[in-house]
């Protein structure tokens, strides 16, 4: 009947579904994850925008984790000024800075060559009652070593050992790399000895750094001994290790040995990189084997590798040195067509009287075009930059000082095993370099099982 129809008097009531839950507002950890994602993408401006959105959010507010994420995102992006601005804002907001924040800040300053700011931040940790741990101390070592202040970097290691902060493999590797970078390979070997005495196992990075040091010195025999020792102690070489050994041979113009190393590397299933190919190309070029260098350059695109300026420069120099001026200019043209910007070494390799005025004129035009393109690239920046007050990065009076004396960290008291005492002070000391590598009292290093060459 009529009551049977839909919506009629006799119709059964339609069951209502469960009510939809209200949309929840993002909490602070949602913002933190977004900031961290921006950091991984090297988008520090977007990280600031997310952070500012968090500051405006009605149901969330920045905490220590959020500030740490912002500082880390800026640091990973290479924006050390912005990371310092975030740190200042953190302190103004009354949020306690922590170890991860200082580690990020010191690492950012290290990459920017701002060792004095890194030092000032380290001093600030004592005022904030934050105990430096191995990660923070390693970051300070990186700041000193990148600035060529090797003595200060070594002092940090001594203070860590005296202050019961256990140096990690990364700490030792950072110091060994610093010694190599400053052409102090003998000191690098001393650090290696201390590492062995502390029973910290080296890894492939440790051995590769030592090999690179001897390669720069032109001592291929010691580089080969380290390589052999690495394999004998069950440390599998990687492409960096093979490249370091090739470099050692290349510096002595032993191109056949370098070629054999490259073949062994490929036979082990390790693929070439641009750096390894460039090293092999240099071995050929320095020995005058320009045709092999050229063939090496031409193999790279076949393996999906784009030669860089270093690669082209070495081949161009070898070709030009063999009197193949036309071929050198062809390589230069190929280089610019591939979008590889020439540098001063490129023009130095090409600029000879035999090129003539016409050839040099062609180079000048190409250089202007490359400079113009580079300027355009530098002018482009991420859209929607956040309003970061970079005036906040100004150091406090007395925080940054340049002094001429030897530098050390002095531990005024030792509190525990998890970090240096917060009352540590930075003071000028004068001592022999060897004493900086030894701790006093019990556990004094006596040479241990030294790796002999």
pLDDT in tens, 330-360: 999 999 998 999 888 888 888 743 433 333 3
* Banded model confidence at residue 106, pLDDT cuts 50, 70, 90: very high
Which residues contact residue 431 at a Cβ distance below 8 angstroms, ignoring those fewer than 6 apart? 406, 408
Q: Output the pLDDT for position 404.
A: 29
Q: Output the pLDDT for position 207.
A: 94
Residue with tokens 């470099």: 247
Q: Does position 177 have pLDDT exceeding 60, yes or no?
A: yes
Q: Which two structure tokens, joined as six digits, stand for 165?
A: 């902060």
Q: How far apart are CA 130 and CA 97, in angstroms?
A: 8
Least confident window among 6-10, 106-110, 443-447: 443-447
* Banded model confidence at residue 59, pLDDT cuts 50, 70, 90: confident
Number of CB atoms found within 10 A of residue 124's CB:
18
Q: Output the pLDDT for position 176.
A: 94
Q: Output the pLDDT for position 429.
A: 26
Q: Output the pLDDT for position 12.
A: 55
Helix (H) or strand (E) holding 426: strand 425-428
Q: What are the beta bridge partners of residue 428?
A: 407
Helix (H) or strand (E) holding 347: helix 344-350
Average pLDDT of span 387-391: 32
Q: Name the nearest CA neighbour of 103 among 72, 62, 59, 146.
A: 72
Angle between helical axes of 134-146 and 115-127 (0-180°, round to 10):
150
Q: Output the pLDDT for position 394.
A: 32
Q: ∠ CA(179), CA(124), CA(390), 5° rounding? A: 95
> Of 115 and 429, which is predicted with more confidence?
115
Average pLDDT, the chain: 76
Q: Output the pLDDT for position 15.
A: 55
Q: Name the nearest CA neighbour of 342 among 319, 320, 318, 374.
A: 374
Q: Output the pLDDT for position 403.
A: 32
Q: Which two structure tokens, joined as six digits, stand for 446?
A: 């006596």
State the DSSP code for 42.
T
Residue with tokens 């997310």: 50
* Banded model confidence at residue 448, pLDDT cuts 50, 70, 90: very low
Residue 146 near residue 115, CB atoms below 8 Å = yes
Average pLDDT of span 34-60: 92
Q: Does position 86 have pLDDT exceeding 50, yes or no?
A: yes
Q: Output the pLDDT for position 25.
A: 61
Average pLDDT of span 231-243: 92
Q: Does position 279 have pLDDT exceeding 80, yes or no?
A: yes
Q: How far apart are CA 54 and CA 62, in angstroms?
A: 7
pLDDT tens-place string over residues 205-231: 999 999 999 998 889 999 999 999 999
Q: How far apart are CA 259 and CA 56, in angstroms?
A: 61
> Of 134 and 382, which is predicted with more confidence?
134
* Banded model confidence at residue 421, pLDDT cuts 50, 70, 90: very low
Q: How far apart are CA 272 and CA 409, in angstroms?
A: 43
Three-class secondary structure of residue 363 per DSSP:
helix
* Banded model confidence at residue 200, pLDDT cuts 50, 70, 90: very high
Residue with tokens 């035009």: 365
440: left (phi over 0), alpha (psi -120 to 50) or beta: beta
> What own/partner pairs with CB < 8 Å and gap ≥ 24 does 290-299 have?
290/315, 290/318, 290/319, 290/321, 290/322, 290/324, 292/255, 293/318, 293/319, 294/318, 294/319, 294/327, 294/331, 297/331
Q: Output the pLDDT for position 355.
A: 36
DSSP string, 90-143: HHHTTPPP-HHHHHHHHHHHHHTT-HHHHHHHHHHHHHTT----HHHHHHHHHH
**Highest mean pLDDT of the ranges 45-49, 425-429, 433-437, 443-447:** 45-49
Residue 158 near residue 127, CB atoms below 8 Å = no
The percentage of the chain sitting over the pLDDT mark of 70, rounded to a whole number, equals 72
Helix (H) or strand (E) holding 159: helix 150-162
Q: Name the nearest CA neighbour of 436 among 190, 145, 164, 155.
A: 155
* Banded model confidence at residue 17, pLDDT cuts 50, 70, 90: low
State the DSSP code for 216.
H
* Banded model confidence at residue 19, pLDDT cuts 50, 70, 90: low
* Banded model confidence at residue 449, pLDDT cuts 50, 70, 90: very low
Q: Name the nearest CA neighbour of 194 among 424, 453, 435, 441.
A: 435
Tell me the C-alpha to C-alpha distance, in Å, between residue 431 and each of 51, 155, 210, 298, 404.
Answer: 47, 10, 26, 53, 14
Least confident window among 39-53, 248-262, 428-442: 428-442
Q: Does position 384 have pLDDT exceeding 90, yes or no?
A: no
Q: Output the pLDDT for position 141.
A: 92
Q: Output the pLDDT for position 24.
A: 53
Which residues contact residue 253 at a Cβ distance below 8 angstroms, ignoring those fewer than 6 apart? 283, 286, 287
Q: Does position 414 have pLDDT exceeding 50, yes or no?
A: no
pLDDT tens-place string over residues 89-98: 999 999 999 8
Phi, psi (degrees; rounded to nearest 5) at 452: -90, 140
Q: Output the pLDDT for position 46.
A: 94
> The whole model's pTM is what?
0.67
pLDDT tens-place string over residues 298-323: 999 999 999 999 999 999 999 988 88
Q: Does position 116 have pLDDT exceeding 80, yes or no?
A: yes
């Amino acid at each position: 009947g009529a009551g049977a129809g839909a919506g009629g008097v006799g119709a059964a009531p339609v069951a209502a579904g469960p009510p939809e839950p209200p949309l929840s507002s993002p909490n602070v950890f949602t913002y933190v994850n977004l900031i961290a994602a921006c950091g991984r993408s090297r988008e520090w401006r977007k990280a600031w925008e997310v952070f500012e959105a968090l500051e405006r959010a009605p149901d969330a507010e920045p905490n220590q984790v959020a500030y740490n994420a912002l500082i880390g995102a800026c640091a990973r992006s290479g924006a050390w000024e912005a990371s310092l601005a975030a740190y200042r804002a953190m302190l103004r907001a009354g949020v306690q800075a922590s170890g991860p924040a200082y580690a990020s800040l010191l690492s950012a300053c290290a990459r920017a060559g701002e060792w004095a700011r890194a030092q000032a931040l380290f001093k600030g940790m004592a005022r904030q009652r934050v105990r430096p741990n191995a990660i923070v101390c390693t970051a300070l070592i990186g700041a000193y070593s990148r600035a060529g202040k090797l003595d200060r970097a070594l002092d940090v290691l001594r203070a860590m050992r005296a202050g019961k902060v256990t140096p990690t493999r990364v700490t030792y590797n950072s110091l060994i790399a610093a010694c190599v970078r400053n052409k102090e390979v003998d000191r690098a070997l001393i650090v290696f000895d201390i590492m062995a005495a502390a029973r910290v196992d080296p890894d492939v990075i440790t051995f590769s750094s030592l090999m690179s040091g001897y390669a720069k010195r032109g001592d291929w025999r010691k580089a080969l001994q380290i390589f052999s020792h690495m394999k004998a102690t069950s440390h599998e070489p990687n492409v960096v290790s093979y490249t370091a050994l090739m470099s050692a041979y290349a510096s002595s113009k032993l191109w056949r040995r370098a070629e054999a190393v490259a073949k062994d590397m490929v036979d082990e299933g390790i693929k070439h990189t641009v750096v390894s190919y460039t090293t092999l190309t240099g071995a050929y070029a320095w020995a005058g084997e320009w045709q092999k260098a050229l063939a090496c350059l031409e193999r790279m695109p076949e393996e999906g590798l784009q030669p860089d300026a270093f690669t082209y420069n070495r081949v161009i120099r070898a070709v030009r040195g063999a009197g193949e001026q036309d071929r050198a200019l062809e390589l230069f043209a190929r280089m610019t067509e591939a979008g590889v910007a020439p540098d001063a070494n490129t023009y130095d390799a090409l600029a000879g009287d035999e090129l003539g005025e016409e050839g040099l004129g062609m180079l000048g035009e190409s250089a202007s075009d490359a400079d113009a393109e580079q300027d355009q690239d530098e002018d482009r920046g991420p859209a929607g930059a956040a309003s970061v007050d970079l005036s906040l990065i100004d150091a406090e009076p007395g925080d940054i000082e340049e002094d001429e004396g030897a530098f050390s960290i002095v531990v005024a008291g030792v509190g525990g095993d998890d970090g240096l005492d917060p009352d540590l002070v930075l003071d000028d000391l004068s001592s022999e370099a060897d004493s900086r590598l030894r701790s006093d009292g019990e556990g004094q290093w006596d040479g241990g099982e030294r790796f002999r060459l």
